[in-house]
Amino acid sequence: MKLLRNLLKSPMFVIGATIFFGTMLFALVAPWFYTVNLATDHARYAPPGEGLLLGADNLGRDYISLLIKGLRSSLYVGFLAGTIATTVGTLIGIYGGFKGGLVDDILNMLTNLFIVIPSIIVLILISATFPEGRSLTLIGLIIGCTTWTWSARAVRAQAASLKSRDHIALARINGDGTLAIIMKHILPYLLSYVFMVFILQIASGILSESAISMIGLGPADTQSLGVILNDAKANGALNGGYWFAFFPSTILITLIVFALYLINTSMEGVFNPRLRK
């Protein structure tokens, strides 16, 4: 609670959280007030105005509806990928950092291995492997499974620094096993840190999905902000000057990521007093 009060004092946190929950709200609540309709019943690239707030795409679909759907998909992928990456990364990082020795070396090598093979290439390769049935969930899973590495690395460093604290040694003398020590004495200390990692992983999940969708390897079954951008680019929206075809999704992606960065940075400031004024 005290933490939240401190966070609310930070204008950066307030702005970031407002933007982020605003977009979430837009994605979740807007369909109640706005009829999401993806029928192709407008003119090709119909400009904004008269019933169409943001115009229509090359197939004549209403852009607001596309954006709502796309935003939902992007947030879904971000949360799915972020949850997987954070969970896997945290477990591996804590265990390796705490255990040390050979286990740590092996886990560290596994982490390095996945870091050196650029995840975007793995992502493209796997995406290209599933030409059909490339669902949003599959893409989220793949992103999560290829980007857990840097949360593992970050958490490992933190866990290793906690290892030599007195209360850990005390717990050990008490006869607590590794798992118990990790759960009772290390994880609680790292929780705020893990949460910050989670926030960055959500952002990177959203970015990865839009990158992969941008080059035409995105979900085949639904819209996402990246798919909208790809459609716009592939169908001459740039040359035709149809700014409304790509500008709003550009702004949305940037805003979400910006908001998550703001939240992350403000939390850093609260947890690390040195960063405060």
Per CB under 8 A, residues contacting another protein are: 12, 105, 109, 112-113, 115-118, 120-122, 124-126, 128-131, 203, 207, 210-211, 214-215, 229, 233, 238-239, 241, 243, 246-247, 250, 253-254, 257-258, 261-262, 265, 268, 272, 274-275, 277
How is residue 95 written in tokens? Answer: 């265990």
- For residues 34 and 258, which CB has a smaller minimum distance to another protein in the complex? 258
Q: How far apart are CA 214 and CA 234, in angstroms?
A: 10
Q: State the nearest-atom distance from the C-beta of 174 to another protein, in Å.
A: 25
What sign does the CA torsion over 27, 13, 194, 121 have? positive
What sign does the CA torsion over 56, 39, 222, 16 have? positive
Q: State the nearest-atom distance from the C-beta of 120 to another protein, in Å.
A: 5
Q: State the nearest-atom distance from the C-beta of 248 to another protein, in Å.
A: 12
- For residues 121 and 191, which CB has a smaller minimum distance to another protein in the complex? 121
What sign does the CA torsion over 115, 118, 123, 125 have? negative
- For residues 14 and 35, which CB has a smaller minimum distance to another protein in the complex? 14
Q: State the nearest-atom distance from the C-beta of 135 to another protein, in Å.
A: 17
- For residues 8 and 29, which CB has a smaller minimum distance to another protein in the complex? 8
- For residues 40 and 254, which CB has a smaller minimum distance to another protein in the complex? 254
Q: How far apart are CA 192 and CA 199, in angstroms?
A: 11
3-class SS of residue 56: strand
3-class SS of residue 49: strand
Count other C-beta atoms under 10 Å from residue 6's C-beta: 16
Q: State the nearest-atom distance from the C-beta of 212 to another protein, in Å.
A: 9
